[in-house]
Amino acid sequence: MSGARVAHIASNTFREAVRDRVLYNLIAFAVLMSGAAILVGQISIGIERLVVINLGLTAVSLFGLVIAIFIGIGLVSKEIDKRTLYTVLSRPVRRWEFIVGKFFGLVGTLAVNTFFMALGVFGALLWVSHGFQLADGWVLVALYFIILQFLIITALALLFSSFSSPLLSAVFAFALFVIGSFAEDLRGFAAMAQGAVHWLAAGVAYLVPNFSSLNVVSSVAHGQPISAQLVFSNTLYALLYTAMAVSGAVLIFERRNLK
């Protein structure tokens, strides 16, 4: 069954990431959060809670982004370099199952990592606020959006990894993250442009991933609610974009000459 084979590859990818000490970043995160929770009150005024949320969610996002890119780019190339890919594909495993399994394995690693980091954020929040407020619930929505970001960036890293070298894949994935953070500006530029430039800019703006709508860190730090419509639209967008990128990776990998 395809599902079982995908699950096996995903669990092996997760175990490999744990063996590679990827989760060690949690130690750095714990130090960062404890330091922020204790020190900010002494060097600033009135922003202890804000800093814990802003710093915590930014760190969750950036740590996960780095893991997604640097592990994602090696998912395929490492297997080719170590020649383990040939062992896997000589068994009754299809190429698309290998790609999809790798994707879910890395997403699972990132989800576990995010879960522990979220515990750290809420622990620090409890420390500085001496209790939780109703508005702290929106932090969970921001964390969910961060996981949606990871889905997209992992899929992109995998896409680039399926045809390019690790170094170039990292550059491409990071460049797309930066461009995706400016996606709304790109759309604004497209709206102002005329003729062919308008169509070109609009095309690029809709092709690059839109990370800006997935970033609600500042809003939740101020306890501002996130609409259910935004949650639904972002979920749908992230799933569609991820499916598109993973499909691209499968298409390229299916045609790739592995000899």
For another protein, the closer CB: 12 or 212: 212
Q: How far is CA 7 from CA 4, 62, 91, 98, 253, in A?
A: 5, 27, 15, 10, 19
Task: Tell me the per-residue interface mask from 158 to 187 with another protein, x by CB under 8 A, - otherwise.
Answer: -------------------xx--xx--x--
Which residue, among 259, 81, 94, has the nearest Cα to 161 in the 3D structure? 81
Q: Indicate the residue among 11 and 215 with the shorter CB distance to another protein.
A: 215
3 contacts another protein (rule: CB under 8 A): no
201-234 core/surface letters (b: 16 or more CB in 10 A; e: else): bbeebeebbbbebbbbbeebbebeebeeebeeeb
Nearer to another protein, 222 or 255 (CB): 222
Q: Which of 40, 226, 245, 246 binds another protein (CB under 8 A)?
A: 40
Q: Which is nearer to another protein, 20 or 184 (CB)?
A: 184
103-162: which residues touch another protein (CB under 8 A)? none
Torsion, Cα of 259, 80, 164, 161 (10° steps): 130
> For another protein, which residue of 133, 218, 233, 254 counts as binding (CB under 8 A)?
218
At 56, the amino acid letter reads: G
* Binding-site ranges for another protein (CB under 8 A): 40, 43-47, 50-51, 53-55, 58, 61-62, 177-178, 181-182, 185, 211-212, 215, 217-218, 221-222, 224
